[in-house]
């Protein structure tokens, strides 16, 4: 199965308050924002990327970084990963980048304790402030397959957390 779906409202609420500004939100405001989360779609028949949209309006000053909780998780087969990249025009026009260049989303992340919540860190590497409105596309995710070496012996652990959680 390959899918991108919403995480629960409870998980979204937790991560939204942890990682993004706007912690003064009321529950109805949060529910409205959650209801407005857009499921990624491809732009054209043969576009590779599923477009990710910010759930809330944001402004990034030059040099500033923000982790956008998408409210989404990706389900995929074991030999796949999802690569998330910046929307090209944001890079070309404004110098906006992902903080980690590419977000590598592992197949087992979907079953992590945080429901596999996809978080996308962006950085304004340009020289002007950039404003995104709720619903604006800012990143794109491409499902890909990976290979394993013949003598592959993975460290047999189940993922429970997000980035940095396995302390390798
Ligand atoms: O920008 C990112 C990068 C990663 N992840 C999630 C999906 C991924 O499967 C998990 C772990 O990411 P990664 O393996 O790249 O992080 P790490 O810092 O190497 O940590 P770990 O020890 O968890 O492997 O965190 C995101 O939501 N956004």
Predicted local confidence at residue 52, as pLDDT: 98
Domain 3-145, what fold?
A: Deoxyuridine 5'-Triphosphate Nucleotidohydrolase; Chain A (2.70.40)
Q: Which of 100, 104, 140 to mutate to test the pocket of ligand 1 (most atoms within 8 A of CB)?
A: 104
Instruction: Label residue 153 by pLDDT band (50, 70, 90).
Output: confident
Least confident of 64-68, 121-125, 161-165: 161-165
Q: Tens of pLDDT along 7-61? A: 999 999 999 988 766 567 889 999 999 999 999 999 999 999 999 999 999 999 9
From the CA of 119, how far away is ligand 1's center (Å)? 9
Q: Residue ranges per domain, the chain?
A: 3-145
Element (H, E) at 27: helix 27-35
Find out whether the beta carbon of 73 lies less than 6 Å from any atom of ligand 1.
no
Q: Which residues contact 128 (CB under 8 A, 6 or more apart)?
A: 62, 94
Q: Whose CA is nearest to atom 16 of ligand 1?
A: 163
Q: Tens of pLDDT along 70-102? A: 999 999 999 999 999 999 999 999 999 999 999
Instruction: Label residue 105 by pLDDT band (50, 70, 90).
Output: very high
Q: Whose CA is nearest to atom 2 of ligand 1?
A: 103
- Ligand 1 atom nearest to 168, measured from its CA: 22
Q: Which residues contact 96 (CB under 8 A, 6 or more apart)?
A: 60, 86, 90, 122, 123, 124, 125, 126, 130, 138
- Which value does ipTM take for this structure? 0.90
From the CA of 98, how far away is ligand 1's center (Å)? 13
């Amino acid at each position: 199965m390959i899918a991108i779906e919403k995480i629960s409202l409870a998980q979204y609420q937790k991560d939204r308050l942890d990682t993004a500004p706007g912690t003064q939100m009321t529950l109805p405001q949060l529910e409205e924002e959650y209801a407005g989360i857009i499921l990624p779609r491809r732009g054209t028949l043969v576009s590779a990327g599923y477009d990710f949209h910010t759930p809330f309006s944001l402004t990034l000053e030059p040099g500033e970084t923000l982790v956008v909780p998408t409210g989404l998780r990706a389900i995929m087969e074991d030999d796949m990963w999802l690569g998330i990249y910046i929307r090209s025009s944001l890079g070309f026009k404004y110098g906006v980048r992902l903080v980690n260049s590419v977000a590598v989303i592992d197949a087992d992340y979907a079953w992590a304790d945080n429901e596999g919540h996809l978080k996308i860190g962006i950085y304004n590497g340009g020289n002007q402030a950039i404003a995104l409105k709720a619903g604006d596309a800012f990143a794109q995710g491409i499902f890909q397959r990976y290979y394993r070496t013949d003598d592959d012996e993975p460290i047999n652990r189940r993922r429970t957390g997000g980035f940095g959680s396995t302390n390798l």
